[in-house]
Chain A
């Protein structure tokens, strides 16, 4: 007898029977099946011209890909059923929760991180794996991991702006570009080294954040999104067209890798060095961002996200708070820009398209807006998965788009929702003891 995870087929069938024996369930399931059938028919119609027909206008031939209809039908049927199931489950959970009045639980990861018994072993485990990673696996693997680490920092930076302060910045990649080009250009013209360029790139990006922020931050949320998108594109187009300044589309090459006290390194060593550098930077970022979030400033950002008018009425200078969020977000993008230039030893405008901003946004949205652990998880999933599942990499951007939509509909708080700091008070007016940060 075949068993799956200890469940015999008989069990499965009887569970299925039980599901159907309840009249209410039966009705719901029948309805959902019917609906999904209609949905799948609709999608067959909808995708017909683009999925089925492919023309070659030069050779004047048409290929009819009828097989695709089949995939569309099955796919949309299954997705529609799953969506319906999710919604029903969510409704029931909500109803049950209301009935029992039990508080919503933190995610498992936060639960673990908050218990001292698990927190430190977990952290030690992670650091151990991170430290030996390049020696366990190939340099190639370390290189991919370095990229993922870079996206963690980018995600954490954007998280300040979008996740915490609630300002939808679609031009985040512009700050990344500013960082990259400031290293490339400073090195080209003034032979500035990596370590000197690193803070300059970050600060320059932050400065641009402030300069851009001044005029646009009084705009409403959706206009802000568009203006930042426009700004990102303007920066890219300028880099593409202003040949005298940026060498145009061909970009700048031969950018030196980061130095280590003048030690000559082989390519492999340089990559591993880069990996450790990024580990260090990620730790620094987590530390800083965590402290920022749990500070007077971080609270003000959250309040701003929740209700701008109430926030102002409580005496918070909206513009100033937004500017700091913008500048601090941009700072990390600038730093990573410098590192990107050093890692690839080459920059050109094609690396800084809107899609790059969209990827970083997807990381933040998937992980959980405002949640540090969430953003880290989001970056690892979205960057590593397509690297390791090569078959998927073609569908990468498609998936990112789908993730943005699906997360908003099904789980707007992300995989791991941010936690708020809690306090416990002893006695009437005693010092408040703080529980641990995230």
Chain B
């Protein structure tokens, strides 16, 4: 039973990190209908930025709390800046191009960013500093759930709540929803669509950066290529939930996290990534609208 609970909780942890990345995919897709291939790389850059900042600070002897806060903020700022820039360079000029064009451009961006980090930093796996301490009060349940799992779960819950509030009640949130529903109409009623799109990229990138920080400190090492697999998995989660739908992205991520956790725990860990890919292929083939998405009939 303990094993089951352990797997369940680790699945939830995994899933909630996927959710942080999946939200970026789903929000961008909802607004401009593009699969932002480079999103996994934004997450990787978030992880790298927090790695660099945290390591520098720890070398200069800053206290842990300060390191965590500064690394988190720096990761969010720089990831957002990258997300914003990628949109401006690679997607904005292609808003009215044939559908294939922004997709190819996105793939190009993804390869570009990966190799940029590879060349500017290193191809080695780097040990990520442990930013989350083992809490004393967690001692009795430590064999089931680690402190970092707890922190991850709490952080993601808080972030999700904040995001929901932001989208429901703020001006920019309302503008986002309007733009997602009908871009032309939003433009006509005076919404600055360019700004909304930028805001979406910034927000999604910041979430991915937080995910990057959390997962890197959870797993304990990073590398320039982590964005690819994480990106695919988060995308799988977003599609599973119904791409374009925010609750869908969260639900899909949790389902994917749990499935992976149980599958690796009870079946075999060799094929961990094959599970995710197969799941992706199967959903897209049999239920491309996902769990919470609506099937749409294209207007002709």
Residues of chain A whose beta carbon lies under 8 Å from any beta carbon of chain B: 42, 45-47, 49-51, 53-55, 57-58, 60-62, 68, 162, 166, 168, 170, 215-216, 219-223, 225-227, 229-231, 233-234, 237-238, 241, 309, 354-355, 358, 361-362, 365, 394-395, 397-398, 400-406, 408-409, 412
Question: Which B residues are CB-close (under 8 A) to A397?
Answer: 111, 114-115, 118
Q: Which of A227, A394, A405 contacts B108 (CB 8 A)?
A: A405
How far in angstroms is the closest Cβ of chain A from B12?
24
Q: Knowing A166-B100, A241-B270 touch, does A223 contact B59 (C-beta < 8 A)?
A: no
Question: Which B residues are CB-close (under 8 A) to A226?
Answer: 35, 235, 239, 280, 284
Q: Knowing A50-B45, A168-B104, A401-B110 touch, does A237 contact B273 (C-beta < 8 A)?
A: yes
Stretch at the interface among B121-129, B132-140, B166-174, B252-260: B121-129
How far in angstroms is the closest Cβ of chain B from A89?
15
Instruction: Decide if B59 touches A168 in the complex (CB within 8 Å).
Output: no
How far in angstroms is the closest Cβ of chain A from B81?
5
Q: Which of B78, B97, B281 contacts A408 (CB 8 A)?
A: B97
Can you list 22 residue pairs at the A/B interface with Cβ under 8 Å?
A49-B52, A54-B121, A55-B55, A57-B55, A57-B127, A57-B129, A166-B100, A221-B103, A225-B103, A226-B235, A226-B280, A227-B280, A231-B281, A234-B278, A241-B270, A365-B104, A400-B111, A401-B109, A401-B113, A403-B108, A404-B105, A408-B108
How far in angstroms is the closest Cβ of chain B from A63?
11
Question: Which A residues are CB-close (under 8 A) to B102?
Answer: 408
A-side interface mostly: helix
Instruction: Decide if B232 touches A229 in the complex (CB within 8 Å).
Output: yes
Q: Which of B116, B273, B284 contacts A223 (CB 8 A)?
A: B284
- Cα A155 to Cα B212 in complex, Å, equals 36
Q: Knowing A400-B111, A408-B102 touch, does A227 contact B285 (C-beta < 8 A)?
A: yes
Q: Which of B44-92 contact A (CB under 8 A)?
A: 45, 48-49, 51-53, 55-56, 59, 74, 78, 81-82, 85, 89-90
Contact with A along B201-245 (1 / 0, CB 8 A): 000000000000000000000000000100010010001000000
Instruction: Decide if A50 touches B288 in the complex (CB within 8 Å).
Output: no
Instruction: Decide if A50 touches B48 in the complex (CB within 8 Å).
Output: yes
B107 within 8 A of partner (CB): yes
Question: Which A residues are CB-close (under 8 A) to B99?
Answer: 221-222
Question: Which B residues are CB-close (under 8 A) to A227?
Answer: 280-281, 284-285
- Cα A215 to Cα B90 in complex, Å, equals 31
Instruction: Decide if A46 touches B82 in the complex (CB within 8 Å).
Output: yes
* Total B residues in contact with A, Cβ cutoff 8 Å: 65
How far in angstroms is the closest Cβ of chain B from A306?
9
Chain A CB within 10 A, most for which of B51, B78, B111, B284: B111
Listed from nearest, the 5 A-B pairs whose CB atoms lie closest are A404-B108, A401-B112, A401-B111, A405-B108, A398-B115
How far in angstroms is the closest Cβ of chain A from B267?
13
Known: A166-B100, A216-B285. 11 other contacts (CB 8 A): A55-B52, A62-B55, A62-B56, A162-B100, A168-B100, A221-B99, A222-B103, A223-B284, A226-B239, A230-B232, A233-B277
Q: Which of A68, A241, A402 contacts B271 (CB 8 A)?
A: A241
Question: Which A residues are CB-close (under 8 A) to B162?
Answer: none
Count of A-B contacts judged by CB separation below 8 Å = 166
Q: Knowing A222-B103, A401-B110 touch, does A309 contact B300 (C-beta < 8 A)?
A: yes
Instruction: Decide if B127 touches A58 in the complex (CB within 8 Å).
Output: yes
Q: Knowing A394-B119, A404-B111, A405-B89 touch, does A53 contact B56 (C-beta < 8 A)?
A: yes
- Cα A214 to Cα B108 in complex, Å, equals 28
Instruction: Decide if A234 touches B281 in the complex (CB within 8 Å).
Output: yes
How far in angstroms is the closest Cβ of chain A from B205?
12
Q: Which of B35, B45, B108, B109 contacts A225 (CB 8 A)?
A: B35
Q: Knowing A50-B117, A50-B120, A234-B281 touch, does A358 contact B53 (C-beta < 8 A)?
A: no
Question: Which A residues are CB-close (under 8 A) to B93?
Answer: 409
How far in angstroms is the closest Cβ of chain A from B37?
9
Question: Which B residues are CB-close (under 8 A) to A237?
Answer: 271, 273-274, 277
How far in angstroms is the closest Cβ of chain A from B245?
16
In the complex formed, the residue of A with least CB distance to B45 is A50
Instruction: Decide if A408 touches B104 in the complex (CB within 8 Å).
Output: yes
How far in angstroms is the closest Cβ of chain A from B82?
7
Chain A CB within 10 A, most for which of B97, B109, B116, B117: B116
- Cα A365 to Cα B107 in complex, Å, equals 12
How far in angstroms is the closest Cβ of chain A from B269?
10
- Cα A50 to Cα B52 in complex, Å, equals 8
Instruction: Decide if B277 touches A55 in the complex (CB within 8 Å).
Output: no
Question: Which B residues are CB-close (under 8 A) to A402?
Answer: 108, 112
B292 within 8 A of partner (CB): no
Question: Which B residues are CB-close (under 8 A) to A238?
Answer: 274
B291 within 8 A of partner (CB): no
B101 within 8 A of partner (CB): yes
Question: Which A residues are CB-close (under 8 A) to B110?
Answer: 401
Instruction: Decide if B35 touches A358 in the complex (CB within 8 Å).
Output: no
- Cα A403 to Cα B105 in complex, Å, equals 9
Question: Which B residues are CB-close (under 8 A) to A219?
Answer: 284-285, 288
Instruction: Decide if B116 touches A398 in the complex (CB within 8 Å).
Output: yes
In the complex formed, the residue of B with least CB distance to A43 is B85
Instruction: Decide if B120 touches A51 in the complex (CB within 8 Å).
Output: yes
Instruction: Decide if B78 touches A49 in the complex (CB within 8 Å).
Output: yes
Chain B CB within 10 A, most for which of A61, A355, A362, A408: A408
Instruction: Decide if B90 touches A409 in the complex (CB within 8 Å).
Output: yes
Q: Which of B105, B127, B277 contacts A409 (CB 8 A)?
A: B105
- Cα A162 to Cα B100 in complex, Å, equals 9
Instruction: Decide if B121 touches A50 in the complex (CB within 8 Å).
Output: yes
Instruction: Decide if A46 touches B232 in the complex (CB within 8 Å).
Output: no
Instruction: Decide if B273 touches A50 in the complex (CB within 8 Å).
Output: no
Chain A CB within 10 A, most for which of B99, B103, B118: B103
Question: Which A residues are CB-close (under 8 A) to B104?
Answer: 168, 361, 365, 404, 408
Q: Knowing A234-B274, A354-B228 touch, does A46 contact B85 (C-beta < 8 A)?
A: yes
How far in angstroms is the closest Cβ of chain A from B31?
15
